[in-house]
Amino acid sequence: MKRLFRMFMAILALCAMPGAALAIDPPGYSAPFDETLETLNFPLLVMVRTIPGWGEAIRDDATLVALARQRAERVQSAPGCSPKPVCLAEAWEWTTADIAIVDDALRRLSADSERLQALVTRQMRLSGRFARHETLADSALLAAAWADTAAGMNRVIAVYAKGTAPRYPLIDGMIFDPRDERFVAVLGAHGQVTAAGSGPGDLVFDAPARYAIGLLRMNERTEAAAYRPLLQGSNAAPVRLAARTRCADYRYPALLVFGHGPEDAQSRTGPLGHIRIARAADLFAASLAPFIIVSGGNVHPNRTPFNEAVEMKRILIEQYNVPAERILIEPHARHTTTNLRNCARLLFAAGLPTDRPSLIVTDPATAGYIGSEGLMTRTLQETGVVPGRVTAADTAFAFEFLPSRQTFHVDPRDPLDP
């Protein structure tokens, strides 16, 4: 009876989750969960928690119960550790041994083929969020996804609790000085409050995930969850219009414009951004495409309140009279690599044609980089996937871009834009 009740509650939770029409999903998949900081960074955890059979199996696994107890004891003894704050954060990290124990347990639980298919075949694969591992067998794909997830949590802890430099320290780093005694007190309080929030229904992953997400919130690094659901808000009217637009009447489905952040706190858009906007407005007026996608997050200068995509859309409307319903925003990208990836995601999710290229509109100073092999190499290194194919166009300062579904792969190593 207890088992049946737990299964019923899991199914009920799955059905009650918000609809995926609001999420950035590949065609043919509807995520049974909302887009939050946790689900955006660690989609495996919400899938395991909501797919019937998995939560119960993990909660009842003796090895994982023992691991959860050991980890809780490690956290409880942390206030007396030294040197702080590093040791306070390390109490929450996944050790190599921890990761291996979970890996072994997941492989063992995967012996139930129906349970494995419910999670991997019908959720993980279709979601695209683990596309980098799509060639692996189901159990191996689950193991690879867990390794990514654990590494992602550890990365958040390293950067936003221990003060390890991120890949781009000038724009992505923590807001605290880890040498400040006041930060030691804050970090200690965060750990204690997180531990106090644990309950009997928790899985072994839950408290560490809350700890990592709490660090992002403390550091005011919640950019990944801003402007969600992305197909609503500013993008609602363009998405509705896209559904009834004959894109075949245009040479390209969309013009893609990447932001250029200013370096001073007063400016809302960098100078190259203005140049790209002007060029895109000219091409739009020439009916080269029915839509413009502007891409860029809150990036330069560090912790700026201005969002590149939002500002570019405003300028296109106010200064170039481009209709608002013809402009989609992609407000999360922080680098050219993720401009490509995120625009590809949005092209798929918004229902625009992806069987033919859209057009990247850039400027003379940046064109050489956009069309280079170096950008593709860097994108693969930093995001784990190649977002599509960039080729020369006969339009000046522009490149054709054919998106790949692999762009839906989630990279938890980059928590500000996974």
C-alpha of 366 from chain center: 26
Tell me which residue of 121, 126, 118, 115 sits closest to 138, measured CA to CA. Answer: 121
What pTM does this model have? 0.93
Per-residue pLDDT of the chain (418 residues; tens, 9 = 90+): 444 444 444 443 443 333 344 789 999 999 999 999 999 999 999 999 999 999 999 999 999 999 999 999 999 999 999 999 999 999 999 999 999 999 999 999 999 999 999 999 999 999 999 999 999 999 999 999 999 999 999 999 999 999 999 999 999 999 999 999 999 999 999 999 999 999 999 999 999 999 999 999 999 999 999 999 999 999 999 999 999 999 999 999 999 999 999 988 888 999 999 999 999 999 999 999 999 999 999 999 999 999 999 999 999 999 999 999 999 999 999 999 999 999 999 999 999 999 999 999 999 999 999 999 999 999 999 999 999 999 999 999 999 999 999 999 999 999 999 9
The alpha carbons of the chain give a radius of gyration, in whole angstroms, of 22
Distance CA 257, CA 139 (A): 40
Residue of 276, 295, 281, 292 lying closest to 336 (CA atoms): 295
* Alpha helix ranges (H) inside 353-412: 364-370, 373-383
Q: CB neighbours (10 Å) of residue 165?
A: 12
- Which residues 6+ apart lie within 8 Å of 10 measured at CB? 50, 51, 52, 53, 55, 56
- Of 312, 250, 319, which Cα lies nearest the Cα of 286? 250
231 phi/psi in degrees, rounded to 5: -85, 0
Are 339 and 296 in contact by the 8 Å Cβ rule? The answer is yes
Count the Cβ atoms, other than its own, within 10 Å of residue 275: 18
What superfamily in CATH does domain 227-408 come from?
Answer: HUPs (3.40.50.620)
Residue with tokens 């980059």: 414
Biggest CA–CA distance in the chain, Å, is 68
Let me know how long the chain is.
Answer: 418
Residue ranges of the chain assigned to CATH 3.40.50.620? 227-408
Q: Which helix (H) or strand (E) holds 328?
A: strand 327-330
Distance separating alpha carbons of residues 395 and 157, to the nearest angstrom: 46
Pairing relationship of beta strands 358-361 and 327-330 according to DSSP bridges = unpaired
Residues in contact with 275: Cβ distance below 8 Å, sequence separation at least 6, in sequence order: 363
Compute, in degrees rounded to 10, the torsion defined by CA atoms 161, 166, 168, 172: -20
Cα gap 349→365, rounded to integer Å:
31
**Three-class secondary structure of residue 258 per DSSP:** strand
pLDDT at 273: 96
Q: Which DSSP letter does residue 225 get?
A: G
Q: Rounded to whole angstroms, how far apart are CA atoms 295 and 336?
A: 9
CA 342 to chain CA centroid, Å, is 9
- Which residues does 205 contact at the CB level (< 8 Å), separation at least 6? 42, 45, 48, 102, 149
Helix H or strand E segment including 8? helix 2-16
396 to 149, 383, 389: CA distances (angstroms): 42, 28, 18
Contact call for residues 376 and 383 (beta carbons, < 8 A):
no
Q: How far apart are CA 39 and CA 27, in angstroms?
A: 19
User: φ and ψ at 247, to 5 degrees?
Assistant: -65, -20
- On whether the CB atoms of residues 65 and 71 are closer than 8 A, the answer is no
Across the strands, what pairs with 376? none
- Give backbone dihedrals phi and psi of 330, rounded to 5 degrees, phi first: -120, 95
